[in-house]
């Protein structure tokens, strides 16, 4: 009898533990809180986020939200939606995000440095908005980042050295901002910084730093613009 009660008690504790992992103290799903906070910080003239409803229990059914098979938010795809105002730092609470596409909007304010907490993030496209401030150094913590587009914003300051820590980058596009200072050795297949007059110099040509080949240490995946030229047999 006592043992049965103990077992039941243990089971109840286990169930409470399992569900509170994704629920806030008030019983709301953390991802719903994060998404509705993101929504409330954006101006959405065409109501594309209309069904992002804080009373809804399942954000996986919301427009432009994609989830993993176990029900965590894995992608936000909101390009070309005329969104403006700011991107909430609560995006850093969507810890299963792999892809964030917010290009071609009019979002301003800083790029939240909490994005650096999204350790599964592989694709981040914030291009063609009006983001201001610096490129957050925390982006260098994104070990799985493959594709980074921050071009055509109003970013300032230096390109953070931390970006050189990321190993598997295919594309980094920082072009058409107002970055300054020296460039770290970012090892991306393609690294674009054209259109930053303080990096390239006011009279630089359009191709100023437009293309950086990968270091020669990885010849198999390397596109070397000199391949096939001047080879000595
Ligand atoms: C967004 O708009 C641009 C310019 O009109 C267009 O080239 C692009 O295909 C659009 N992208 C999406 C995802 O609709
Ligand atoms: C992010 O999650 C933490 C708990 O992990 C919570 O305390 C915080 O309020 C959340 N912030 C936002 C903006 O959702
Ligand atoms: C940039 O975004 C604006 C919307 O804010 C869009 O009209 C324009 O076509 C975009 N430019 C490109 C090259 O996609
Ligand atoms: C970025 O800005 C350049 C120069 O103004 C422009 O030619 C290009 O179309 C823009 N690209 C996007 C994606 O907005
Ligand atoms: C770029 O930044 C410099 C100062 O850092 C400023 O003087 C200049 O006006 C800015 N250019 C643009 C196009 O915003």
Residue 79 forms part of a structural domain? yes
- Ligand 4 atom closest to the Cα of residue 128 is 14
Residue 128 forms part of a structural domain? yes
- The whole domain housing 63 covers 23-211
User: Is there an atom of ligand 4 within 6 Å of 129 CB?
Assistant: no
Residue 42 forms part of a structural domain? yes
Q: What is the pLDDT of residue 29?
A: 85
- Residue 106 and residue 28: Cα distance in Å, rounded? 30
- Ligand 4 atom closest to the Cα of residue 152 is 1
Residue 149 forms part of a structural domain? yes
Ligand nearest to the CA of 54: 2
Q: What is the CATH number of the domain that holds 123?
A: 3.80.10.10
Q: What is the pLDDT of residue 221?
A: 38
Q: What is the pLDDT of residue 119?
A: 96
User: Which residue, judged by its Cα, is nearest atom 13 of ligand 2?
Assistant: 90
Residues paired with 65 in a beta bridge: 76
- Total of domains in the chain: 1
Residue 69 forms part of a structural domain? yes
Q: What is the pLDDT of residue 218?
A: 38
Residue 14 forms part of a structural domain? no
From first to last of its 233 residues, what are the pLDDT tens digits of the chain?
455 545 555 444 444 434 334 666 666 689 999 999 999 999 999 999 999 987 887 899 999 999 999 999 999 999 999 999 999 999 999 999 999 999 999 999 999 999 999 999 999 999 999 999 999 999 999 999 999 999 999 999 999 999 999 999 999 999 999 999 888 989 999 999 999 988 865 555 555 554 444 443 333 333 333 333 323 32
Residue 225 forms part of a structural domain? no
> What is the pTM assigned to this prediction?
0.81
Residue 150 forms part of a structural domain? yes
User: Which residue, judged by its Cα, is nearest atom 12 of ligand 5?
Assistant: 178
């Amino acid at each position: 009898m006592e043992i049965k009660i103990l077992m039941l008690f243990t089971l109840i504790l286990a169930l409470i533990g399992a569900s509170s992992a994704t629920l806030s103290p008030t019983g709301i799903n953390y991802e719903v809180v994060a998404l509705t906070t993101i929504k409330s910080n954006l101006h959405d003239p065409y109501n594309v986020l209309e069904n992002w409803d804080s009373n809804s229990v399942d954000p996986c059914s919301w427009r432009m939200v994609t989830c993993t098979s176990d029900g965590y938010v894995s992608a936000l795809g909101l390009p070309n939606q005329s969104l403006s105002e700011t991107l909430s730092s609560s995006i850093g609470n969507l810890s299963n995000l792999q892809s964030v596409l917010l290009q071609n909007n009019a979002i301003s304010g800083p790029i939240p440095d909490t994005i650096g907490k999204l350790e599964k993030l592989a694709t981040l496209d914030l291009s063609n908005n009006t983001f201001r401030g610096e490129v957050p150094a925390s982006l260098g913590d994104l070990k799985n980042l493959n594709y980074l587009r921050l071009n055509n914003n109003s970013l300032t300051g230096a390109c953070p050295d931390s970006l050189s820590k990321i190993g598997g980058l295919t594309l980094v596009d920082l072009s058409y901002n107002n970055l300054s200072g020296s460039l770290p050795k970012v090892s991306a297949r393609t690294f674009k910084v054209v259109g930053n007059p303080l990096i390239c110099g006011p009279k630089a040509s359009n191709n100023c730093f437009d293309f950086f080949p990968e270091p020669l240490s990885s010849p198999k995946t390397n596109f070397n613009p000199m391949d096939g030229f001047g080879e000595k047999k």
